[in-house]
Amino acid sequence: MYSNPEFPDIVGSGFIAEQDGVILTNHHVVRALTKLPRLKEWGPKEWPAEVLYLHHIPDKGMAIVTLPILGVGTLGANPPPGHVHYGTTVPDLGFIHVNARGLPPLKIADRVTVDEGDEIMVAGFPMGTDTLRAPGWVHQLSPTLQSGIVSCVLPFRCDNPHALMLDVLIQGGSSGSPVFDPTSGEVVGVVYAGLIEEHSMRGDGVLVYNSPTSHTFAVPANHIQNALRAAASYKHSISSTEAAPTLADIIANAELVTHMPRTPSSIVRKLGPDDIQ
């Protein structure tokens, strides 16, 4: 059961990487999905979560589309011989395969195309449902766009960096957010963590609290391509793409949010033939 009945709880962010149902996110988001409670009678292809896709229809509203999960995957630690690598051997990337085709994928850079000082943008769901319900009810149905710069290429400028450090403040729920180059529209990274500063106050005891910083880390594009190759080999082993419904068919049966009043029951109506584009 959702803790917020008006809107599903958000585990993390992600983005469409392939038109035949590949959603890219973080390894730790995928792990969180695998730890959700499951019913004993469920089979391996039944999941206690869905991918929520918000499809804007100009002059109509926002279609709320749920995409059933067929399976999930993560990367293995298998660097090629002679491969120079820094950081962890397994980047924090994972993928979700959904039962849909004809999805609009984002364009992903095949190499690191940004440098220190370059502007970037991040789109996701910081603070999850809490942001969408900021006044106490659902008043937002869209990702949150943030802008910043590349602060540092890690460990230094090279052909195969293990991370990008960004000057963007993120919170829980942002994991898996795509990082865009605003000049090209290409995805150049995937947000996976933020640097936390620890504080302590000493008196009768020790009180430790954490403060978020604007130092955010992203997996760079050179590692994203490896994740897509892993997803390509995995998805064909669990389902047939040709049998999946198209996005147009799914949207035709979705619900359309036309406005955002305080009363949740009055914001939804069924889509009609004139709404589909």
Single out the residue of 121, 150, 143, 160 nearest to residue 13, CA to CA: 143
Buried b (16+ CB within 10 A) or exposed e, 108-120: bbeebebeeeeeb
Beta strands (DSSP E) in 125-182 are 144-154, 163-167, 178-180
Domains of the chain, first to last: 15-275 (2.40.10.120)
Q: What is the mean pLDDT of the chain?
A: 84
| Proportion of the chain above pLDDT 90, given as a percent | 48
**Contact of 264 with 138, CB cutoff 8 Å:** yes
Residue 236: its pLDDT value, please?
Answer: 55
Residue 25: its pLDDT value, please?
Answer: 96
| Bridge partners, residue 69, by sequence | 98
Single out the residue of 54, 59, 20 nearest to residue 277, CA to CA: 59
Single out the residue of 158, 86, 72, 157 nearest to residue 116, CA to CA: 157
Strands 61-74 and 144-154: unpaired
Q: Which residues contact 14 (CB under 8 A, 6 or more apart)?
A: 23, 24, 25, 29, 51, 96, 176
Residue 220: its pLDDT value, please?
Answer: 95
Q: pTM here?
A: 0.84
User: What is the residue type of 41?
Assistant: E
User: What is the residue type of 58?
Assistant: P
- pLDDT tens for residues 14-52? 999 999 999 999 999 999 999 998 888 887 778 999 999
Residue 95: its pLDDT value, please?
Answer: 92
**Contact of 148 with 214, CB cutoff 8 Å:** yes
Residue 153: its pLDDT value, please?
Answer: 95
**Contact of 109 with 188, CB cutoff 8 Å:** yes
pLDDT < 70 positions in the chain: 1-5, 76-88, 201-205, 207, 234-242, 261-277
Q: Which residues contact 150 (CB under 8 A, 6 or more apart)?
A: 114, 115, 116, 117, 118, 120, 164, 165, 166, 167
Residue 222: its pLDDT value, please?
Answer: 87
Q: Which residues contact 129 (CB under 8 A, 6 or more apart)?
A: 3, 4, 7, 8, 9, 10, 173
Residue 116 sits at φ, ψ, to 5 deg, of: -60, 130
Q: Which long-range contacts (CB under 8 A, 24 or more apart) does 57-62 make?
A: 57/256, 57/275, 57/277, 58/277, 60/256, 60/258, 60/275, 61/256, 61/257, 61/258, 61/259, 62/141, 62/142, 62/256, 62/257
- pLDDT tens for residues 188-231? 999 999 998 887 766 555 767 778 899 999 999 988 987 888 77
Residue 262: its pLDDT value, please?
Answer: 63
**Contact of 256 with 60, CB cutoff 8 Å:** yes
| Proportion of the chain above pLDDT 70, given as a percent | 81
Residue 73 sits at φ, ψ, to 5 deg, of: -155, 160
